[in-house]
A and B are shown apart, each in its own frame.
Chain A
Amino acid sequence: QVQLVESGGGVVQPGRSLRLSCVASGFTFSYSGMHWVRQAPGKGLEWVALTSYDGGNKYYADSVKGRFTISRDNSRNTLFLQMNSLRTDDTAVYFCAKDSSRLGTYSSSSDWGQGTLVTVSS
């Protein structure tokens, strides 16, 4: 069955960087678009970023554009989120999610990891 395991979360000071990873198994990773979605404590879901199956197309929420970079290594079945210039309002649980399609647009997130907590605080 599909498994998505996030890691890399932790406590970081404002302005610093952090890199999240998501290791996938149970499906052909290189065939699926992949997302990062976050959830601030006690708040709703916020879509963060999407990469197509081959990394050729990437999309970002306005709140992270220019600061976050989504990438993937299909040889290692791993999705990444490089987060720079972190702010206190980036504090959230970050989920990776598998898309139902290759491109990831006009689609849905069929499977989700359990998330990793990022806390931005001085």
Chain B
Amino acid sequence: SYVLTQPPSVSVAPGQTARITCGGNNIESKRVNWYQQRPGQAPVLVIHYSSDRPSGIPERFSGSNSGNTATLTISRVEAGDEADYYCQLWDSSSDHYVFGAGTKVTVL
């Protein structure tokens, strides 16, 4: 089945830019979603269709997808962005949704 690879952790100083990668075979051909999950809370969709922002999500969150890597970029990072971030997509070969293992973003 399709595998999504994320780094376990990313650390970033406030005001800087965090980039979280999600690797997968020819992932550029797929629609990638990104979810933010703060401790003890339900996930929140922050990017869908690889680069679209749902209403209410700050413009600081953006997504891109090329080759074998999709990327979630958080600009001007704030303390409130500290959370786990998961990529996800629909794998048509197995008719399953697949999640990456998640990346913990720490704001220094």
The yes or no verdict on A and B being binding partners is: yes
**How far, in Å, is A60 (CB) from chain B's closest CB?**
8
**Which A residue's beta carbon lies closest to that of B101?**
A44
| Contact partners of B90 in chain A: CB under 8 A | 105-107
Given the interface pairs A44-B99, A44-B102, A50-B97, the reply to whether A106 lies near B42 with Cβ below 8 Å is no
Which size class do B's interface residues fall under?
20 to 34
Q: Considering the chains assembled together, what is the distance between the CA atoms of A109 and B33 in angstroms?
A: 9
B86 in contact with A110 (CB, 8 Å): no
Residues 79-101 of B contacting A (Cβ, < 8 Å)? 84, 86, 88, 90, 92, 95-101
**Which A residue's beta carbon lies closest to that of B47?**
A108
A35 in contact with B97 (CB, 8 Å): yes
10 contacts across the A-B interface (CB closer than 8 A)? A47-B96, A47-B99, A50-B97, A59-B95, A61-B96, A62-B96, A107-B48, A108-B31, A108-B45, A114-B42
